[in-house]
Amino acid sequence: MKKILFTLLLAHCAYAGQSGVFVGGSLSLNNTFYQGLYSVEENGATTEYPHSNYSPNALGLSLRVGYQKFSSDAKLGARIYLEYNNNGYGSYKDELGRTYKMDMSGFDVGADLLFEVLQLESATFGIFAGGAVGFNSHKFTNAQYSIYQSTLTTPAKLEGYGLNAHSGVSLTFKGNHRIELELQYANFVSDYDSGIIRSADKAESLKLEAQGFLKYRLNYFYVF
């Protein structure tokens, strides 16, 4: 009986993919891994201090604008978009365990495949998957020490490009309102090298890298 009812439901389902320009945004939890190498030269001897830490669950906000196009039967679609990500604040710990707040942000250019699976009375259930190319930045917010500054007045930035892959599920209401739960793996690598900075009695340097990991996202878009 359950199989018969499910078959009848599928036979009568309507697909509601709508083509058009869309705008929206996201709430996200962002996870980052920091890995650094601090080097200091004193009295002719160089000592290196490798260190790393994981910075979990930074709350972020994103804004997105794009265009989506569905097939004539409104089942299968694709979209392209441009997105700005304010990924919240990460926490970097140096070789002595001191914590520095990092302002994380970036831009993505992405493309997804969309599949509207099932009409559920007033909403349509769907799935999606895709990828993006992005630029990411991690900036020290309050660093006054020379190895954390690109100039005497400018905090250092870790910058880099990368790829991400993502997938998720969606609900579309009244054709225009779309809510998504998304899981994203961001393969971004942003880095910074202070170079050798000399003072009266020593020379020091910092090489620092930030690697993006999983992001958990709640998205909302309005389709015009």
Low pLDDT (below 50) residues in the chain:
4-15
pLDDT at 188: 85
Please, what are the domains in the chain? 19-212 (2.40.160)
Number of Cβ within a 10 Å radius of residue 137: 19
pLDDT at 1: 53
Residue type, 28: S
At 5, is the secondary structure helix, strand, or coil? helix
**Residue 16 burial by CB count (10 A; 0-12/13-18/19+): exposed, middle or buried?**
buried
For the whole model, what pTM was predicted? 0.85
Output the six-digit token pair for 71: 């097939």
Measured between alpha carbons, how far is 120 from 173 in angstroms, rounded to an integer? Answer: 10
